[in-house]
Structure 1
Amino acid sequence: MELTEVLGSPVVQAPMAGGGSTPELVAAVSEAGGFGFLAAGYKTAAAMRAEIERTRQATSRPFGMNLFLPSHDPVDDAALAAYRERLAPEAALLGVEPGTAADRGDGWDAKVADLLADPVAVVSFTFGCPSAEVLRDFQAAGTLTIVTVTSVDEARTATAAGADVLCVQGSEAGGHSGAFTNAAADAANTPLRTLLAEVRLSTELPLIAAGGLADGGDIAETLLLGASAAQLGTVFVACPESGASAVHKAALTDPRFTATAMTRAFSGRPARGLVNRFLTEHSGHAPAAYPDVHYLTAPLRKAAAARGDAGLVNLWAGESYRRAEPGVPAAEIVARLLRGATPAQ
């Protein structure tokens, strides 16, 4: 199965868990000639299926679903308890309690079973590589499989397991590092263009480039470096069809936010976001406990977003965030990207 035949475009809208990837966004991207991705992270299998059906009602074009692999990283319960205590005053000011632990497996088995029973065109994986058996099952169902990698070692592992495609995520990417383990995420600091060249030498699989890409020129450059397509997230965060909060969208052009940084403060796993008060004050204290910290901070983040307080919300953004344009529809973004990615004849 050829990647270009399935995607039909060099423009891939990144799956954005936590609300960013809506059926409306995915349908708009796919209808405009890009390839849209839903995100199953933090949802039940039933909620995932409902979004698939809504997307199918809005477009007849193919789209993808992203799954998080279960977390098997060890957790220091004492460190987690200490972080909860540290955040208690923040929670009290917001009128909420810190959250409690939930399923560390993110409903993996139920989601895999659902997608095998009623497949979508593409399934991508983040935070690890599925077993060879799971990859074969998806391929037998007619689904193209993509594994997110952040190093040459991960690329080799995914290649050996039988993945169809690798999504090569550079250090510039917004949101979570897709590294296979929490420890590997700490070491995933290779810029996209360097990593893309290294991975290109280690595998013959098709590659999708991801990390800090914002316009057609960026896409054209990655295609010249050996990628078959480019995945972009931050440029779609601010569009009307995105499910990102209003405070998140506004922050992308707010002059108060002048940089991005990696942090565990919101989720317990390294992720890139705009530097705000919460990131600055708590990054050095958050334990490597994913998704435990995610669930712990969830009530605080929700309450802060409702109040419009950008200082306490996870403002995921790639290094190219200043090139995002709030209010521009997804279809127009895709059209601009496709024009810019195609060399003038």
Structure 2
Amino acid sequence: MNNWKQSRVTDRLGLRFPIVQGPFGGGLSSVELCSTVSASGGLGSFGAHHLNGAEIIATAAQIRANTSKPFALNLWIPFDGSDVPTYSNSEITQLSAQWEPFFEELQLPLPEKPVRFSPDYTDQIDGILKARPAVFSFVYGIPSADILTQCKQLGITTLGTATSIAEAVALERAGVDMVVASGFEAGGHRVSFLQPAEDALTGGLSLIPQIADSIHIPVIAAGGIADGRGIAAARVLGAEAVQIGTAFLACEESGTSALHKQALFSEEARHTGLTRVFSGRLARGIRNRLMHEGQRRPIAPYPVQNWLMGQLKRAAIEAERSDLMSLWCGQSAALLQHQQTPALINSLVEETDRLLQQV
């Protein structure tokens, strides 16, 4: 497969390489990382689900100030009542009290209920359409037919994520342009929407070819890909591009904390687990004290749990306490070698070239 750099994904988006940077939510994305990946020939992504519409527009403008190349903006589709959670003040007080020992340890007062736990989705969509990124990517479902139609009219390519064959088929039938096949190995959230995330834990080696055989639109492989071997394997399995998360998260250009980056290159990164402790939704991260002890406490649905743990995380970062914060990480962290984005991309391309020429 000497022509691995060309596919329907690269042709449609004008990319040099079929490499997509995974979108990181919760402030872990950065304008610098997104624009650097795009300028280097891949597709940079910015996880915008924590931003309101005006902030999304401003972020897109900042990315365009750094590169003229295409990029993606990513949102979480409202799922399972997440857009307007029904939690009373008394319920928040009761929930927070169960987690009070961790707040006390960081000398942090218990937070009060906010006006909203997350930005308004309708306002976010308005921001996406006004920003007009080359790609609108999304997780946890499928946008409405009206939104997908508006994206087509504006020339915005749509990219949805599937954790099962059924989800991939549903995305294609809805008119989505491309599908990310997210294997069990991936770091961060398991973004299942047609079945419980615990029931959609198929590894990439099995998931990628089955989805590629089940739909006609391009498939982008994700989960456990951190070097050229992963790219080569994904292309042979039928994917037309790859999405890489943890390896880019570990680069100095990403928006995550120094503590998190250090952890990704540590021995602890070899030991990841799936938990709902940090956000209320199943996600993969490095095992630590909060993940372990939090399993014995009440866990609220997303976004309530995500808001509560977010208060704790900010204080933990300031106190340099990696045992009391989420450390998202995929299962291939032991393969990480690079801390600068251009060096990572060069290595990915050179190794994939070498391997596929041998094949």
Same fold by TM (over 0.5)? yes
Match of residue 217 from structure 1? 229
Match of residue 100 from structure 2? 88
Whether 2:270 is the aligned partner of 1:264: answer no
Paired with 1:24 and 1:303, the residues of 2 have a C-alpha distance of 25
The higher relative CO (CA closer than 8 Å, separation ≥ 6) is in: 1
The C-alpha deviation readout for 1:169-201, integer Å capped at 9, x for no partner, is 0111000111126x5222121001211122122
Equivalent of residue 164 in structure 2, options 120, 136, 151: 151
Deviation at 1:202? Answer: 1.7
Whether 2:72 is the aligned partner of 1:60: answer no
Q: Sequence identity, in percent?
A: 34
Paired with 2:185 and 2:269, the residues of 1 have a C-alpha distance of 17
Q: Residues 283-294 of structure 1 correspond to what in structure 2 (within 5 A)?
A: 283-287=295-299, 289-294=301-306
The C-alpha deviation readout for 1:205-260, integer Å capped at 9, x for no partner, is 11010011100110111011111100001001121111100110011122345400
**5+ residue gaps in structure 1?**
none
Deviation at 1:134? Answer: 1.3
Paired with 2:86 and 2:311, the residues of 1 have a C-alpha distance of 22
**5+ residue gaps in structure 2?**
1-6
Paired with 2:103 and 2:143, the residues of 1 have a C-alpha distance of 37
Match of residue 263 from structure 2? 251
Tell me: CA distance 1:313–1:241, structure 2 relative to 1, closer, same or farther (3 Å): same
Paired with 1:26 and 1:118, the residues of 2 have a C-alpha distance of 15
Deviation at 1:304? Answer: 0.3
Match of residue 188 from structure 1? 200
Paired with 2:72 and 2:298, the residues of 1 have a C-alpha distance of 32
Equivalent of residue 22 in structure 1, options 8, 30, 54: 30
Paired with 2:103 and 2:286, the residues of 1 have a C-alpha distance of 21
Match of residue 136 from structure 1? 149
The Cα RMSD (Å) is: 2.2
What is the identity, as a one-letter code, of the residue corresponding to 2:207?
Answer: L
The C-alpha deviation readout for 1:317-344, integer Å capped at 9, x for no partner, is 0001122236x21011111111222223
Whether 2:352 is the aligned partner of 1:341: answer yes
Paired with 1:224 and 1:3, the residues of 2 have a C-alpha distance of 15
Task: Name the SS of the counterpart of 1:50 in structure 2.
Answer: helix
Task: Name the SS of the counterpart of 1:109 in structure 2.
Answer: helix
Give the TM-score normalised by the residue count of structure 1.
0.93
Match of residue 323 from structure 2? 311
What is the identity, as a one-letter code, of the residue corresponding to 1:25?
Answer: L
Paired with 1:154 and 1:274, the residues of 2 have a C-alpha distance of 27
What is the identity, as a one-letter code, of the residue corresponding to 1:46?
Answer: A
Match of residue 10 from structure 2? 4
